[in-house]
Structure 1
Amino acid sequence: MASGDLRGNNLLGISWVDSGWVPILNPGNVLDYFSERSNPFYDRTCNNEVVKMQRLTLDHLNQMVGVEYILLHAQEPILYIIRKQQRQSPTQVIPLADYYIIAGVVYQAPDLGSVISSRVLSAVHGIQSAFDEAMSYCRYHPSKGYWWHFKDQEEREKAKPKSKKKEEPSSFFQRQRVDALLIDLRNKFPPTFYQVMEVKKESDLPAETVKQEERESASKTPAPAPPSKPPPEKRARLQ
């Protein structure tokens, strides 16, 4: 019986087996097993069917033109390979498809294009799944920007002893944005510079002027007052 879906004539995803033939399969009757009417891989219009109806041997296939099936390889009792080919002359054939029978189950061998397409599709699916999983760990906040948030990170944070974190007045993302705004404002409104008058320092004054100022300050300083005598001591009265 056939298993699988025959929609779209895609025979790569189906298989066929007749359990009654499995114990007696051999290189002599494997083509008869393959030509069963319930086998979806078998073409009823092939030359094998004509030879079978006329009760001729398979050697007459070389003298015919059209589609035929041959036993390409046999590894008793487990593996048989059957080829479907287009015969154009006794010496010229064009392979169309290969079928392999493993333990009585018939499969169609995929062509190179199908193999490459399947491998590429599997690789793309894996890459897409990886990107989807990576995006699930991505977080964004206007004040913090982008960061990664993994599940195992939560477990590690729970295991760590809680400690008070010093709250920063602003994040790196905020400082970076503010710096960009300040630079933009500075470019739009450049600062205006005013000319400042120079003031001479005391060190720049001539030495004579400094000496004269020292003399004046010394003359204005009052003389020290003489020391005052303490008041006389009082004597106690005798009664």
Structure 2
Amino acid sequence: MATPLPPPPPFDGAAPPPMSGSLPPPPATDMTGICFRDQLWLNSYPLDRNLVFDYFALSPFYDWSCNNEQLRLRGVHPLDASQLTKMTGIEYTLSEVMEPHLFVIRKQKRDGPDKVTHMLTYYILDGSIYQAPQLCNVFASRIGRALYYVSKAFTTAASKLEKIGYDDAEDENPPIDSKSSKEAIDIKEVRRIDHILASLQRKLPPTPPPPPFPEGYIPLTTETDKPAETQQAAGEVVPSIDPIIDQGPSKRMKF
């Protein structure tokens, strides 16, 4: 018994749909690492808005269970918007066209005539089909690249600083000119520090007056300011008075 042949494609250049019961699995969500190109098809048919979907159906990005495939089986153009709005499920639409170089195809889920949820985006650039990356993946890639270059810059700077310190340690006998330049730099630093301290001193409040003498404390007079040898010769003995111990408010014991 002869095997029945598959039905002819509805449009010129369209790939024949698979037999019922042998549909391939739906494409994966992340297929940004692959690229599809059929040079034989591109040499045989023009790539325009009428045949671009038939070319896209040859790629592994195509979902054979979409509504566009049902329209192809019925002999209707797979991108007919008037027919797609009456259906629900997975569909593909042509969002941007720049013939013959760029075509942007959007995969979306339709829940009603006006309710559509965007899923993925594909673009055909000069005959090569790619999946556009998601925004979160783009941000993660850019941030990772920036962190890599920042870390590399810090590593390079650290290695150069270590090399400079090693060279300074090895140079035990620097020339006289370097010493004079270092001394000049040191003098400038000292002057700069003096200037900073003077400016800080001007900003500080004036020195408060000394506290008053405690009650009963007898300050030293001119007669008691004589040298100890003169006082001993005169036979004068100056009593040792500790204002903090004898006359202080805490009345601590005298040792």
Q: Using structure 1 for the length normalisation, give the TM-score.
A: 0.53
Distance (Å, rounded) in 2 between the aligned partners of 1:149 and 1:28 = 67
**Match for 1:51 among 55, 71, 90?**
71
Matched, 1:73 2:96: yes
CA contact (8 A) 1:31 1:70 kept: no
**CA–CA distance in structure 1, aligned partners of residues 165 and 54 of structure 2:** 61
Take 1:91 and 1:121, find their aligned partners in 2: how far apart are those partners? 39
Q: Does the aligned pair in 2 maintain the 1:21–1:104 contact within 8 Å?
A: no
Q: Which runs of 5+ in 2 are unaligned?
A: 1-27, 169-173, 180-226, 231-255
The answer as to 2:122 corresponding to 1:99 is yes
Q: Tell me, what secondary structure is at the counterpart of 2:105?
A: strand
Q: Residue 32 of structure 1 corresponds to which residue in structure 2?
A: 54
The CA distance in 2 between the partners of 1:94 and 1:10, in whole Å, is 18
What secondary structure does 2:92 align onto? strand
Query: Is 2:61 aligned against 1:41?
Result: yes
Q: Distance in 2 between matches of 1:10 and 1:199?
A: 103
Q: Which residue of 2 aligns with 1:112?
A: 135
Q: What is the Cα deviation at residue 199 of structure 1?
A: 5.7
Higher strand share: 1
Q: CA deviation at 1:99?
A: 1.1
Structure of greater Rg: 1
Among 134, 139, 148, the residue aligned to 1:125? 148
CA RMSD of aligned residues (A): 3.4
Partner residue of 1:20 out of 40, 64, 81: 40
Letter in 1 for 2:37: V
Match of 2:84 in 1: 61
Which 5+ residue runs of structure 1 have no aligned equivalent? 1-7, 140-147, 155-161, 167-196, 201-239
TM-score normalised according to structure 2 size: 0.50
SS at match of 1:25: coil
Measure, in 2, the Cα distance between the counterparts of 1:79 and 1:62.
25
